[in-house]
Amino acid sequence: MTAHGATPTSSHPGPGHDLPGTRERATGSGAASARRAVLIGTAESVGLLSSQLALLADPPKAEAVVLVEPPAGAVCRTTEDLPRLCRDLRPDFAVVCLPRSSAAESRRVSAILAELNVPERRVPVLQDLLDAPPASTLSGPGAAVADARRLLGREPRPIDHGAVASVIEGKRVLVTGAGGSIGSEIARIVASYGPESLVLAERSENALFEIDRVIQRRFPGLARAAVLHDITDHDATLRLLAKHRPHAVFHAAAHKHVPLMEDHPAHAVTNNVFGTRSVADAALACGAERFVLISSDKAVNPTSVMGATKRLAEMYVQHIHRSADATRFSIVRFGNVLGSACSVVPIWSSQLAEGGPVTVTDHRMTRYFMSIHEAASLVIQSAAIPDPPGGRSAAPVFVLDMGEPVRILDLARRFVAASGFHPVVVPPVQGLTPLDPAIDLSTLPTMEIALTGVRPGEKLYEELAYDHEALIPSPFPGISVWSTPSQPVDIPNMLAELTAARNSQNRAAVIQTIRGLVPEMQPPIAARGGPLQGIDQADTCSDKVRHAAA
């Protein structure tokens, strides 16, 4: 099977091809029924793998089982035996069933099999399928969507389960934007830690239905409420929280797409700023113990409307934190999340399925990345970190450690290669990072990666903290705590200016007002490299709102 006419030049599927391809080869190509296979997996996954093989019309004969990370005392062959085993048995292929948590061993197994010229079939672990959010699927050479860990080239940050339990267990929890990529993952994790109840607030009917269905199936005994809700309705939000009285509020609802918000700045103001105000006000009024704002690295020295409105949301949370006695407000910043809705991986998956090309805006562009599960887990864990020294003068800002920034072009090339194609950058770029030597690109069909140019509002690189923010030691690896000096802001006038600009229905006026309220906002970069037309680039810092470091 190929995607839109692409024809592989090798008769052996490469890493990432799954069991359906095995069955097609067995039943449709006249292969002998007595094919021999080596099964590779953990002690937990191999038993299920044997059952899955039995469902095939012409199941292969399992000549041996290789256990990765075997339990103590088990009598078995390990990964160390794999080279000798394959040379002795000469299997037609190896069936690999490893969980995502074994990323390093998975790469090692793939390298060994490639060196021995043993075709590899991948079968997903059942629990990984249950834990994973819905994702695009492909056919043909791109059938396996590359694992986030393989793309990032690092292991996920460790999670302190005791800290997460201290925030969630026996508590009433509310998640806004519960149908989104981060919100739904937070909801799944929260549900697994035994909360008293879970409220899913989401304005997308389909997204709410899906996450509610997942929670109901996996946690049938959990008290939950799926609420179709618009956070920009201030009074309705107050009623929602007054009804459910959450101990912890995770505010993930937001508009996040940079180019769209450049075209619709009033919507960004309404959802990101006034929506945050609604939820924060309600959390304070209803006596919530914790409120966590999911922010973005794009809020630091923003160049986009989306980033600037997230910065304004941070400013409001900082303001309300100063007057909050019972509620502890905090902010979490992180960068891009691999696999989130409409992020690069699903977009590239769709482009591969359509026959290409895969698109990247600029070869110099870098971003911080982490997996959805890693980001959501660390967000919840951050809520357990105590306030920094100095009292409640400012809400703590937690920055998730995302490792080194990743060049988007390198990520795209790794993704395309892991999906079974030979990536070709157009126009050519010099000095590219070498790809995984275990992948023989000469045997793969080519796939173009087209450089399309920077879009309005985009940066070439992101920052995670301001220069005036001070780093404070954190008790948990993977989370940095930044202390933000108090910046007095006339919040009533800020909101009044935003309301007037939004009601003017004038795009330029809205952007002008945002830039006045966020003086560190840089002029946006247009698709062809110049400033956006129709927007005054002069500094328009508001006369009514003053930002002064304490």
pLDDT single digits (tens) 155-190: 667 778 888 899 999 999 999 999 998 999 999 999
- Between residues 484 and 245, which one has the greater pLDDT? 245
User: Can you tell me the mean pLDDT for 215-224?
Assistant: 94
Determine the residue type at 218.
R
pLDDT tier at 471 (50, 70, 90 boundaries)? Answer: low
Are the C-beta atoms of residues 310 and 296 closer than 8 Å to each other?
Answer: yes
Mean pLDDT of 212-222: 93
Average pLDDT over residues 59-64: 70
More confident residue, 366 or 357: 357
Q: Please state, in angstroms and rounded to a whole number, the distance separating the CA atoms of residues 49 and 95.
A: 9
Highest mean pLDDT among 95-99, 354-358, 437-441, 451-455: 354-358
DSSP structural state of residue 77: B
Q: Which of 171, 256, 298, 310 is catalytic?
A: 298
Mean pLDDT of all residues in 293-300: 90
Higher-pLDDT residue of 481 and 372 is: 372
DSSP three-state, residue 36:
strand
Predicted local distance difference test score (pLDDT) of residue 513 = 96
pLDDT at 88 over 90: no
Average pLDDT over residues 460-484: 64
Percent of the chain with pLDDT over 70: 67
Mean pLDDT, the chain, whole residue set: 76
User: When comparing pLDDT for 154 and 364, which is higher?
Assistant: 364
For residue 514, the model assigns a pLDDT of: 96
Strand 224-228's sheet: what is its strand order? Answer: 224-228, 197-202, 172-176, 248-251, 290-294, 328-333, 397-400, 479-483, 470-472
Structure confidence at residue 133 (pLDDT) = 43
Q: How far is CA 205 from the centre of its chain?
A: 22
Count Cα atoms within 13 angstroms, Cβ side, for 511: 25
- Average confidence (pLDDT) over 2-14: 35
DSSP-assigned states of every residue in 242-309: HHH--SEEEE------HHHHHH-HHHHIIIIIIHHHHHHHHHHHTT-SEEEEE--GGGSS--SHHHHH
Please tell me which residue, 340 or 293, carries the higher pLDDT value: 293
At residue 135, the pLDDT reads 37
Confidence of residue 22 (pLDDT cuts 50, 70, 90): very low
Residue 534: CB atoms within 10 Å: 8
d(CA 416, CA 49): 27
Mean pLDDT of 72-99: 73
Amino acid symbol at 497: E
Q: For residue 375, which of 222, 157, 63 has the smallest C-alpha distance?
A: 157
Is residue 298 among the annotated active site residues?
A: yes
Average pLDDT over residues 419-444: 82
3 state SS of 211: helix
165/190 Cα distance (integer angstroms): 9
Tell me the C-alpha distance between 410 and 65, whole Å: 35
User: pLDDT confidence of 468, banded at 50, 70, 90?
Assistant: low
For residue 17, give the H/E element and its range: strand 17-18
Work out the average pLDDT over 363-377. Answer: 79
Residue 260 has pLDDT above 50, yes or no: yes
Residue 252: predicted pLDDT: 97
Residue of higher predicted confidence among 29 and 423: 423
The answer to whether residue 73 scores a pLDDT higher than 70 is no
Amino acid 120: pLDDT: 77
Residue 19 has pLDDT above 80, yes or no: no
What are φ and ψ of residue 273, in 5° steps?
Answer: -95, -60
Which domains occur in the chain, in start order? 17-131 (3.40.50.720), 161-406+459-483 (3.40.50.720)
